[in-house]
Structure formats: C-alpha cells, structure tokens
Structure 1
Amino acid sequence: MTKLDPIVSEFATTEEAEAYDAWLRAKVEKAMASTSPRIPHDQVMAKMQAIINRRKTGA
C-alpha cells in the first residue's frame, strides 16, 4: 500500500485511486455503450439553470 500526498491526490493510497479509476472507467464505458436516447445539451443546461435559480430564491 503506497500512501499518496494529500496535496497531490484526493485518495489516501494508490489502491484507492486505482479502484476509483476502474469504477469510473466502467461507468463511462457503460454510458458510451448505452442505446438509450440522448438528452440535448441545451435541455440539460436549461434544467440545471432552473435548479440553480430555485436554490438562489430558496424555493
């Protein structure tokens, strides 16, 4: 187990970093292989902006 510098990495050990990397790569590969309908960028951004606006107004 190799300890990592907290200034350089958010992970405590190389094992944690490698496990996260493997998990993330699997998620990305699954998403890229998905045949579900895509959501247009503008639609996602509008939805996120609505969430931000609600949070700013406290609603």
Structure 2
Amino acid sequence: MAKLDPIVSEFASTQDAEAYDAWFRAEVEASLSDLSPGIPHDQVMAELHAIIAAKA
C-alpha cells in the first residue's frame, strides 16, 4: 500500500484514493439514473431561508 504525500493528495494511500473514487463514481451514477423529479432552486432557497430565520 503506497503512502501518498499530503501535499499531493488528501488520502493516506492509493488504496484509500481508489476506494473513494469507486464510491464517488457509484454515487454519481446513482444520481444520474434517478428519475424522480428535482426540487426547484427557488423552493430549496425558501426552505433554507426559513431554517436560517428559525435559528436566528
């Protein structure tokens, strides 16, 4: 297991980097395959503003 330089990579080893890459690619593929309707930007922003206002 090769160790990676922290300046070059955020992962401790090539095995960690490859595992993350495989996980990330699977997440992207699942998202692209999801046929459920998206949430409009304005709705998301309104919900977030309500959450922020409630915490203030």
**TM-score normalised by the chain length of structure 2:** 0.75
Structure 1 unaligned spans of 5+:
none
Match of 1:25 in 2: 25
Q: Percent identity?
A: 64
Match of 1:10 in 2: 10
**TM-score normalised by the chain length of structure 1:** 0.72
Structure 2 unaligned spans of 5+:
none
Q: Hey, what's the Cα distance between the residues in 1 that align with 2:11 and 2:49?
A: 31
Question: Following TM superposition, by how much is the alpha carbon of 1:47 offset from its aligned partner in structure 2, in angstroms?
Answer: 2.9
